[in-house]
Amino acid sequence: MAVKKVTKTDIPVKVNLDTTVLLTVTIGNAQIGGNVVRWKSNPNILAKGEIKNLNLGLGVDIRGKILKVTTNVLDVNEVTNGIVIVHYFHNGNPSSFTYEDRVEKDGDILQLVTEYTFK
Partner 1 sequence: MKKYAIFLLAIVTWHSIYAQNEIKISELSIPTSPGFVLADKAPASIEKPTTPKAFGVSLLNLREGGAVEVTPYWLVNHPAYTFTDYFKKRKFPVLETFNISAATFKTDTTSSVSMGFRTQIVRLYSKAAREELEAKRLEIVGLLSVEDFTPEALEAIEKARKELSDLKSKITFNFEIAAAIIGSSKNNSFKNLQSDKSGVWANIRYRPKECPLDFTALARYSWTNNTNPKVGSDSAFFDYGLSLSFQKPKYDLALEFINRYDFSIKSNTNRLALVVNYMIYDNIVIVGSFGKNFDKVKNLLTVVGVKFGLSNDKAKIN
Contacts of 42 (CB under 8 A, 6+ apart): none
Provide, rounded to whole angstroms, the least separation between the CB of residue 35 and partner 1: 6
Nearer Cβ to partner 1 (20/34): 34
Please work out, in degrees rounded to the nearest 5, the angle formed at the alpha carbon of residue 92 by the alpha carbons of 84 and 38. 70
Beta strands at 82-90 and 20-27: parallel, antiparallel or unpaired: antiparallel
* Residue 18: CB minimum distance to partner 1, A: 30
Alpha-carbon distance of 25 to 71, in angstroms, equals: 8
Site track 5-44 with partner 1 (rule: CB under 8 A), x = hit: ---------------------xxxxxxxxxxx--------
Report the distance separating Cα 71 and Cα 68, nearest Å: 10
Q: Where are the beta strands (DSSP E) in 3-108?
A: 3-15, 20-27, 32-39, 45-49, 54-58, 66-74, 82-90, 92-93, 96-102
Compose the 66-105 pattern: x for residues touching partner 1 by CB under 8 A, - for all others. Answer: ----x-xxx-xxxxxxx-x-x-----------x-x---xx
User: Is residue 114 within the footprint of partner 1 (CB under 8 A)?
Assistant: no
| Nearest distance, CB of residue 16 and partner 1, angstroms | 26
Which residues are near partner 1 by CB under 8 A?
1, 3, 26-36, 48-50, 70, 72-74, 76-82, 84, 86, 98, 100, 104-107, 109, 111
